[in-house]
Structure 1
Amino acid sequence: MSEEKNVSAAEKMLGDFAPRLLGYTDNVLFGDVWEGKELSRRERSLITVAALVAGEHSNQLKFHLNYAKEHGLTEAELVEVITHLAFYVGWPKAMTAIMIAKEAFEQEK
C-alpha cells in the first residue's frame, strides 16, 4: 500500500510550474524559518499578519489570518492588531485588511 504524500497549499497552487519557488516555500520558509526556536509560532503569525497588512499584501493575508488562529491567536486579537496598525501603516491598508479578516472569519463559521 502506498503512502499518500502530504501536499502543501503552495504545491497545490504551483505544482510543477515553479518547482524551485515551491521548494523554497515548503522547505525554507515553512520548514526552516517557521521552525526557528527563538520565536513561537504564535509570535511569528502575529509578525507575519502585521507585515502583510503593512505591505498591503492582501492575497496572502487570508491564509495567514487563519494560520494565526491555528497558532493560538483569536479573532478578537487579530482584529485588534489590524485596528492598531491603522494608525501606523495607514487607514486604507487597515480597512482593506479588516474586510479580508471579516470575510475569512465568516467563512470559518
Structure 2
Amino acid sequence: MNTLKDSGREHVGRFPQKFADLTDQTLFGDMWKRTQLTPRERSLVTVAALVALYRLEQLPFHLSRALDNGLSDDELEEVMTHLAFYSGWPTAASGLKQLSDVQASRAPSQG
C-alpha cells in the first residue's frame, strides 16, 4: 500500500497503489484537465456534489482547492445557501461549518 501524495491528497490515508494511480492519473489528471469546464467550474460542481451527498470528509480539501481555483468566500457561501433548498438544511449547515474551518485555516496568522 502507498499513501496518496500528489495534488494534496495525503490527508485521505493509505490506499492500494492502483487506487492511488487511478486517483492521480485519471481523476486529478485526466478529468480535472479536460477543457469543457474550467478548474473553477469543476470545483463548483465538486463542492456542490460533496455537500449534497454529505461527503464531509473530502470537503475541506475541495473547498480549499475551490478557493485556489478562483471561487470567492462569498460565492461558496452562496452555494451552501442555494444547496440548503435542494439538498437540505443540515447538509448546507455542515458545508458552511466546513467552509468556516477552511477559511480560518487559510487566514493570515495574527502575531
Q: TM-score range by the shorter chain?
A: 0.7 to 0.9
Structure 2 unaligned segments of length 5 or more: list them: none
Number of residue equivalences: 102
Determine which structure has more spread, i.e. the larger CA radius of gyration: 1
The residue number in structure 2 matching 1:27 is 25
Residues 93 and 12 of structure 1, relative CA distance in 2, 3 Å threshold: closer
Residues 11 and 22 in structure 1, CA contact (< 8 A), matched pair in contact too: no
Residue 1 (structure 2) pairs with residue 10 (structure 1): no
Whole-angstrom CA distance in 2 between matches of 1:72 and 1:84: 19
Residues 12 and 66 of structure 1, relative CA distance in 2, 3 Å threshold: closer
Q: CA deviation at 1:18?
A: 1.2
The residue number in structure 1 matching 2:36 is 38
Q: CA deviation at 1:10?
A: 3.1
TM-score (norm: length of structure 2): 0.86
Instruction: State percent identity of aligned pairs.
Output: 43
TM-score (norm: length of structure 1): 0.87
* Aligned ranges 1:1-109 → 2 under 5 Å: 7-8=5-6, 9-10=8-9, 13-14=12-13, 17-109=15-107
